[in-house]
Structure 1
């Protein structure tokens, strides 16, 4: 097996991927791209023998240097509210120029032929996917669902306020845990046969916001109500910066209309076990907080 490089290695998904990858691959075959190679987040991995390359998605030459001698690049997508198109294009082009064989890209899950546009996400994901397919590189596109760890960002601290308060809708979201998605990343990075495939990594079970309120009530033994708000009242209650309003509403509307409801089975097949469910996740989180 050739050298593997993970970008975004200090983020939530990157750190988990790196931890699991080290259980499968010798550290001298692993490299990471980070803005600060001396970051505390990456220090323990460097001590184990992982190569840390200073670089940035906007710095093309740094990408070329980091990708030298690398066989597979795990491209963890850039965050919203940045120039994602330029960043993703640079990584793909530099990988091609440096002789990388395969790029694995983390995209956002969506229904086929959907007209949904998530602000700051959908169009740049489509651009990255199209760029990869046209690059001549082997690619794997991993379409990630909303994370179980970030579901609360759609409805706030339900246990504190005593309710899941969101705009009305009955759609479900088949969210998945970061640990399970990291396990998929490692499977793709360490196995053959995933070249030029696209996987929809939905969780195995969908939940509506009403289902979430019911599960939290059952697990916490508190009364967590499901309450519907107008979109304006919802945004006011969430108290997010105004420039993120369309972004937040886009995700909530997508959940409420069932854009993330489909369960493909790809996640379970790739990790070889049942993914964590939303109820199992809530039980774990509530147990930790006690």
Structure 2
């Protein structure tokens, strides 16, 4: 049977992907890569082979990928020299004899000039490197995470309102867990070779829609308060976010407002065989029992 390795095993996406793989693949055919395997004690207890490795150490990666047939490359964190890290993983996989890499870039709208700092350019680099490597690949493109909505809003939006830059665009947000389950499907099945999926959740919502949903959940009006970009930065910083993180959030919100991820479920729903978690379901779980 195919031996599958998931990188970033101690992070949200990597850990969840392995958890979903356990439902589909015997544990002795699964491996994970972690900088600190001690943090993967729960996965080791399940029988998963956790191997030590760092994206910046290519020689170590070659050893860690020994005997692996299919590899899930969990994207490196923004602002950490993603190009070097992704290049190292792809090169090491090829050296180690890995046959197939699954990679998770951000979804890009065809023909759009929108660029997400520290994400878009680095994703394009990784995709080009992967396609020129000679390896079989699958691209599982991600929309913005549902879990990022509280980050974009900052503070308790049910009390303070939805303060974002003006715009009416929508996004087909998806939950990390649904995306991880889709990864597990692709990794555990044949038939996904050299294919590209756009894993939109749905229904697509705008920030004004988020305000309406929060109003229904809380039982009180939650105003949608559109403003200028610098007002948004100030709002996030007042909630305790450092300026670089606030500007990163602004870039995502600008993309959402521009409709960069305005699509309904298709590939994600097909891979899961069910409807993905909706924004209303996520927001109800996140913001409270008041409207439950």
Report the TM range for the smaller structure's normalisation.
over 0.9
TM-score if structure 2 supplies the norm length?
0.95
Q: Residues of 2 paired with 1:282 and 1:139: CA distance?
A: 34
**Shift of residue 162 of structure 1?**
2.6
**Is the Cα–Cα contact under 8 Å of residues 236 and 246 in structure 2 kept in the other structure?**
no
Instruction: Give deviations 1:69-114, integer Å, cap 9, x for gaps.
Output: 0001100000001100000000001001100010000110120121
Which of these residues, 49, 65, 78, is aligned with residue 51 of structure 1?
49
Structure 1 residues 288 and 43 mapped into 2: Cα distance closer, same or farther (>3 Å)? farther
Q: Residues of 1 paired with 2:89 and 2:29: CA distance?
A: 20
Moved over 4 A (4+): 287-290
**Is the Cα–Cα contact under 8 Å of residues 73 and 102 in structure 1 kept in the other structure?**
yes
Q: Secondary structure at the match of 1:228?
A: strand
Q: Where in structure 2 are the equivalents of 1:67-82 lying within 5 Å?
A: 67-82=65-80
Q: Secondary structure at the match of 1:108?
A: coil
Structure 1 residues 191 and 151 mapped into 2: Cα distance closer, same or farther (>3 Å)? same
Between 1:190-199 and 1:245-254, the stretch displaced more is 245-254
Which of these residues, 55, 58, 61, is aligned with residue 59 of structure 2?
61
Q: Residues of 2 paired with 1:170 and 1:243: CA distance?
A: 25
Q: Secondary structure at the match of 1:46?
A: helix
Instruction: Give deviations 1:123-180, integer Å, cap 9, x for gaps.
Output: 0000001111111000001110111111111111344543000110000011001111
Q: Where in structure 2 are the equivalents of 1:86-235 lying within 5 Å?
A: 86-159=84-157, 161-235=159-233
**Is the Cα–Cα contact under 8 Å of residues 158 and 164 in structure 1 kept in the other structure?**
no
Instruction: Give deviations 1:191-243, integer Å, cap 9, x for gaps.
Output: 10101011110113110000000000001212211001211111011013233
Q: Residues of 2 paired with 1:19 and 1:43: CA distance?
A: 13
Number of matched pairs: 288
Q: Residues of 1 paired with 2:166 and 2:224: CA distance?
A: 10
Per the alignment, residue 36 of structure 2 pairs with: 36
Q: Residues of 1 paired with 2:248 and 2:287: CA distance?
A: 28
Per the alignment, residue 26 of structure 1 pairs with: 26
Instruction: Give deviations 1:44-87, integer Å, cap 9, x for gaps.
Output: 21122111111100001111011000001100000001100000
Q: Secondary structure at the match of 2:104?
A: strand
Could you tell me which runs of 5 or more consecutive residues in structure 1 were left unpaired when the two chains were aligned. none
Q: Secondary structure at the match of 2:38?
A: coil
**Shift of residue 288 of structure 1?**
6.4
**Is the Cα–Cα contact under 8 Å of residues 5 and 33 in structure 2 kept in the other structure?**
yes
Could you tell me which runs of 5 or more consecutive residues in structure 2 were left unpaired when the two chains were aligned. none
Q: Residues of 1 paired with 2:129 and 2:161: CA distance?
A: 43
Q: Secondary structure at the match of 1:70?
A: coil
TM-score if structure 1 supplies the norm length?
0.96
Per the alignment, residue 279 of structure 2 pairs with: 278
Q: What's the RMSD between the two structures over aligned residues? A: 1.5
Between 1:168-177 and 1:257-266, the stretch displaced more is 257-266
Q: Residues of 2 paired with 1:203 and 1:160: CA distance?
A: 23
